[in-house]
Structure formats: structure tokens, C-alpha cells
Structure 1
Amino acid sequence: MISFGKILFFPILFLLSLIYRILFFLDRSFKKKRTLPSSVTISVGNFSVGGTGKTPFTLHLSKLLHSNFPSIPILILSRGYGSSGTGTRRVSENSSASEVGDEPLLLKRNLPFAEVYVGSNRYNSYLQFRSESRIPNDQKVFTLLDDGFQHHALNRDLDLVLLDCTKLSKAEFVLPLGLLRESYSSISRANFLIASKFSEEWEDLLSKWVRKYKPSQTLKFKFSPEKLIPLSPGASEVSLKDLSGRSIFGFAGLGNPDSFYSSLKDQNPSQLKTKSYPDHYSYTKEDLTHISEKSSDQDYIICTEKDGVKITSLIEMDQNFSKWFYLRLETVLENESELVNSVRSFL
């Protein structure tokens, strides 16, 4: 639904939305596209701003490619949204989230077999990767364009677009009226629709969406909570069943944290308190102190893995963070062999 403020300023926002659409169309139509040499280029993107499960899917896709094509290098190219660094940066497990971005750091820490590069010019980042890795000119590389559906500067072999199933019942509008970067009809450019956060309760709404917009192929992507990983060094993992009957303080800096909070609620805690921060929020030690004070009587303090990569650098050994954890997700992509076969056709 549109908020009261947007209804009040509807004429202005509608005009801005129209200008946005025109500029977007011109950029897509006239931008000179380049092709990454010796690359199978796969774009992973979405329709809306944040919160569709793109990072869990990119993790799943990378592992899927590595298990089926272990000899082919994998490179993830990101703009590093929210980072303070400049130029092209190679992400290592010891990089700081502030320098390279929270999502690229999360990807690298979970994908030791892949390389992650951050930079505004993805073509230059790709060439730098090949040079630094000393990859022969004829060696194929899997290049994943993180958040790449609206990136018009590069050609791609496959376009994968995520749709947040939890938002199918809501009317969505193009920026700035709503959160859509472009209308759902743009699915015609994609090779696969990835129905993200899917569960059986969304089956009817998804079927209606598919009948209306007619994507080429649709794959259902599910993720569910797996376990709690400690943020404090030396602490042990916790099984989800241990949350039943216990009190939880959950916090998240996501575009759409509702699914995260629902996952915590599903564990049947005795009490669940939550606090939301802006997407890509940069936490400070003062934030951690504030969270500790608000949750002093809670058994567990739980965040997302995306938040966890930023918080670990702030945790001090001389303070008690024994009840701080992030939620690890288990992911499933139905009929993923269809995607693997499509990738294989480019090799």
C-alpha cells in the first residue's frame, strides 16, 4: 500500500516516477555494452530495492557451480554498496565490511573457493582479477554479477531475477512511489525467475503472478533456519530446538527483515523482542552497548549473518558476548538441474 505521505504528494511522485522510467529506459537502450572475455557471465538481480534473499541465493548458486564444474574459477563482481573504499578491491576473509561492503565480505567468508572483487567498473574489476590470478586467456571463468539485472554496461549469458514471494500480496510501484526499480513486466528479459522465500502458502499467489507475467522458466528457492553461530570467539553453536521457551532479542539491518523475525518466532520462544536498522547499517560500539542494555534480561541476542560480519570486528575479548549469535540458513533450489544444464550449454 502507498503511505499517506505518498498519497499526499502523489502528483509529484508520479511525475518523478515517470522521469525515472524514461531515464532508465534510455540508459538500458543506449548504454554501450561490453562483453567479458572468456567468461560465462551470470547476472543475479531483483526487481526491488533490498530484502529479496539475493545473498543467500548467490551463495547457493556459487556452491552449485563449484560442485558441478569444479575446475572452472568463480568470480563474484559487486559494487560494494555502502562501503567506504574506492577503486577495485579484492575481498579477503580479513577485509573489513566498511571497506568492501557487508555482502561481499559475507560471500567471501562462505566461499573460500571463489574470488570476490568490489568496484564501480566491473569490466576493469574482471580484467584485474584475471591478471592477478594469472588465468590463461582461453580459460573460462564463471562471473556472477551481484545485483546485476539493472546493470546495463555488460552483456550476460544468463539473467536470474529474484522475486520475493512474501510480497506477492502487496501492490508494488516503481520508484519513488514504491520499491520497484522497474516493473514486473521486465521479467521478459530474464532467463530464470527465482521465486525466493518460497513456501506452500505462496503457491496460489505465485501461480497467478507467473500466469500474468509469463517468465521463461521459474525455480523455487527456499531457505530455512539451520542453527545459531556464535559471534563471540570460543563459544559453541546452538541448536534451534534450544530456543523453545527461551527469551530472544532479534535485530537486523535488512531491506525486509520480516522473514528473519518470523523464523525466530517459529522457534516458539517465551518472548521475542526485535529492533530493525536500515539496510546495510554500519554498527558502532555504541549500538552494541545499546543492544546489550535493551536485552539484558534476554537469553539470546540473534542477528542475521549479514549483520554478523560487521559486528565481529567490534566485539572485544574482555566483554561478555556469549549470548550473541547469528542465524545460519539452509537453502534449497528446486529443480536446480535445469539451471545447471543451461550453464553447461555455454561451456
Structure 2
Amino acid sequence: MISFGKILSFPILFLLSLVYRILFFFDRSLKKKRTLSSSITISIGNFSVGGTGKTPFTLHLAKLLHSNFPKIPIVILSRGYGSSGKGTRRVTNNSLPSDVGDEPLLLKKNLPFVEVYVGSNRFDSYQQYRSENKIPNDQKVFVLLDDGFQHHALQRDLDLVLLDCTNLSKMEFLLPLGLLRESYNSVSRANFLVASKYSEELESSLSNWIRKYKPSRTLRFRFSPQILVPLSPGSSERSVRDLTGKSVFGFAGLGNPGSFFSSLQNQNPSELKTKSYPDHYSYTKDDITRISENTSNQDYIVCTEKDGVKISSLIETDKNFSKWFYLKLETVLENESELISSVRSFI
């Protein structure tokens, strides 16, 4: 939706949006694409800025590939948005989110069988990955290009683009007038549309979207709350059902936190207070202190897993933090055999 301020500045923003569209077209048309040797390259992206569920989907896809093709190594190449590190960095469980980015660190912590590399030049990142891990020249590798739909520098074998099903009723425009990086018509470039945050009540609006833009193939991707994972050492996991009838404070640094807050509300807490931070927000000790002071009467303090990665090092082994948790999601990809069949054709 367009804010009142954007309505007032509509002519200027519309002009800038047109310039953005032209520059984007030339970048995609003129940039010479490089090929990653001995790879099966899969791009995972979206149409818009903000949260579409790309990280949960990347986690699901990596596990799906590993279970079906356990002998083929997997590497995730990320730009490391929001990180301060320079050059190509190999992500480990001990990496700092400020150095490699919150999402790459979350991916590595959840995927011990996957290598994650961060850097602005993904071709160089891939070369460094093969060199450091001593991958033979003839060994095929799954390469997952994180946020790769608008990355025009590399050839890919499969393009997967995510669509946020919860936002289909909103009118969107290209940057900077709206949040779209490119128009929905670009779905014609994708091998699969992934309808993210899907639920049955959204089927009608999704079907209308599909009839209008005609994606090649569509996979419905849903996720639901699973467990509450403690951020304080020594605490135990809880069922998400424990939030029922309790007072809850939820906070998130996401592009679109509405789905997360709805997940908490669906557990029927007696009270739910929420706070949104900017996407990829870097929390400080002062932030943690303020949250603690303002939630002294709350039974639970719950954040997203992406936020949990960043604030876990700020949480002290103190009883005051025993009610701090992040929400772990369970994911389901419908008709995933179609995707596996497409992947198999490249092996």
C-alpha cells in the first residue's frame, strides 16, 4: 500500500520508479552471465523487499536435496546483506552475525551438512568454496543462490521465486514507489513459483493471481509454529501451546512481521503485545535491557529464529531471561516431488 507521504510525492517517485525499471532492464539484458563449473545452480529469490519466507524455504530445500541426493555436496552463496565483513567469508557456527549476516548464520546453524559462503562476488565465493573444501573438478555440487532472482551475473539451472500469499490483495509498485524489485510479470523467467505463507483461506486470491500472471509451475509452501526454543542456556523447550492463556510479548526484525505476530495470536494468549524492528536490525545490550524492563509482567518473550541468532550472545545466564524464546517453524512444501524431478534431470 502507498503511504500518504508517497501520495504527495507520487510524481517524483513515479519518475524514479521508471528510471529504476530502465536500469534494471539494461542490467539484466547486458550483463554477461558466468557459469559455475560442475554445479547444479538453483536460484531462490522473490519479487519484493521484505520477508516472504525465503530463509525457511531455503532451509527446507537444502534438507530436501540432502535427503534425496546425499552424495552431492551443497553450498549456499549469499551476499550477506546487513553484514559488515569484507571479501568472501566462510560461515561457521562461531561466526558473528555482524560479520556474515543473520540469515547466513541461521542457515549454517540449522544445516550442518551444508557450507555457507558470504561475499558480494558469488563467482569468487564459489571458487573459494571448491578450493578450501578440496572439491574434485568433476564433482557436481548443488549451489543455492540466496536472494538470486535479480542477480544477473550467474547462469542458473533452476529459478525459484517466492510470492507472499498474505499480500496479494495489496496494490504494489516498483521501487522506490512500492516494494517490488520487479513486476510480477517477471514470473515468466521462473521455473517454479513458490506460493509462500500459504493457507487454504488464501487459495482464492492465489488462484486469481495465477490466472493473471500464468507461472510455469506452482508449489504451495506453508509453515506453522512448532516449538519455543529457549534463548537462555539451561532452559527447556516448550510447546507453542503453552502460550495459550498467557501474557506474551513478541518482537521481530523482519521486512513483514505480520505473519509472525499472527502465529502468536493464533495461540490464544490472554494478552499479546508486539514490537517491530527494521529488517536485519542489529540488537544491542540496551535493546535487550529495555525489552526486559518493559516486559517484567509478561509470561513469555518470543522472537523469530532470525532474531534469536543475533541476540543469543546478548542473553545472560540469568533467571530473568528464562522466559525468552524464539519460535521454531515446521515447513511443508506441497508436491515437492515435482521439484525433485526437475532437479534430477540435471544429474
TM-score band by shorter chain is over 0.9
Query: How far, CA to CA, are the matches of 2:322 and 2:121 in structure 1?
Result: 41
Show the counterpart of 1:29: 29
Code of the aligned partner of 2:271: Q
Show the counterpart of 1:282: 282
Q: CA deviation at 1:314?
A: 1.0
Matches within 5 A, 1:210-229: 210-229=210-229
Query: How far, CA to CA, are the matches of 1:329 and 1:316 in structure 2?
Result: 25
In structure 2, list runs of 5 or more residues that go unmatched. none
Query: How far, CA to CA, are the matches of 1:141 and 1:281 in structure 2?
Result: 33
- Give a deviation string over 1:225-247, Cα, whole Å, max 9, x none: 00100000110001112111000
Show the counterpart of 1:271: 271
Show the counterpart of 2:83: 83
Q: CA deviation at 1:3?
A: 1.1
Query: How far, CA to CA, are the matches of 1:317 and 1:299 in structure 2?
Result: 18
Show the counterpart of 2:151: 151
Code of the aligned partner of 1:175: L
Matches within 5 A, 1:180-329: 180-318=180-318, 320-329=320-329
Secondary structure of the corresponding residue to residue 320 of structure 1: helix
Moved over 3 A (4+): none
- Give a deviation string over 1:191-219, Cα, whole Å, max 9, x none: 00000000011101000100010000000
Query: How far, CA to CA, are the matches of 1:23 and 1:124 in structure 2?
Result: 25
Show the counterpart of 2:99: 99
Secondary structure of the corresponding residue to residue 16 of structure 1: helix
Query: How far, CA to CA, are the matches of 1:24 and 1:108 in structure 2?
Result: 31
Q: Which moved more, 1:116-125 or 1:307-316?
A: 307-316
Q: Matched residue pairs, number?
A: 347
On the 8 A contact 2:78/2:146 being kept in 1, the answer is yes
Q: CA deviation at 1:185?
A: 0.1
On the 8 A contact 2:86/2:119 being kept in 1, the answer is yes
Code of the aligned partner of 1:207: S
Instruction: Please tell me whether residue 142 in structure 1 is matched to residue 159 in structure 2.
Output: no
Q: CA deviation at 1:316?
A: 2.1
* TM-score between the two structures when normalised by the length of structure 2: 0.99
- Give a deviation string over 1:177-196, Cα, whole Å, max 9, x none: 10000000000000000000
Query: How far, CA to CA, are the matches of 2:85 and 2:27 in structure 1?
Result: 26
Q: Which moved more, 1:44-53 or 1:318-327?
A: 318-327
On the 8 A contact 2:232/2:318 being kept in 1, the answer is no
Code of the aligned partner of 1:179: L
Query: How far, CA to CA, are the matches of 1:192 and 1:294 in structure 2?
Result: 44
Query: How far, CA to CA, are the matches of 2:52 and 2:113 in structure 1?
Result: 25
Query: How far, CA to CA, are the matches of 1:80 and 1:67 in structure 2?
Result: 26
Query: How far, CA to CA, are the matches of 2:221 and 2:119 in structure 1?
Result: 28
Matches within 5 A, 1:11-50: 11-50=11-50
* TM-score between the two structures when normalised by the length of structure 1: 0.99
Query: How far, CA to CA, are the matches of 2:3 and 2:276 in structure 1?
Result: 19
Show the counterpart of 1:10: 10
Matches within 5 A, 1:117-132: 117-132=117-132
Q: CA deviation at 1:50?
A: 1.7
Query: How far, CA to CA, are the matches of 1:49 and 1:243 in structure 2?
Result: 31
Show the counterpart of 2:115: 115
In structure 1, list runs of 5 or more residues that go unmatched. none
Query: How far, CA to CA, are the matches of 1:13 and 1:236 in structure 2?
Result: 50
Query: How far, CA to CA, are the matches of 2:182 and 2:166 in structure 1?
Result: 18
Code of the aligned partner of 2:155: N
Q: Which moved more, 1:63-72 or 1:3-12?
A: 3-12
- Give a deviation string over 1:235-274, Cα, whole Å, max 9, x none: 0001112111000000000000000000000000000000
On the 8 A contact 2:302/2:324 being kept in 1, the answer is yes
Q: Percent identity?
A: 80
Code of the aligned partner of 2:177: L
Query: How far, CA to CA, are the matches of 1:2 and 1:97 in structure 2?
Result: 32
Code of the aligned partner of 1:192: F
Secondary structure of the corresponding residue to residue 212 of structure 1: helix
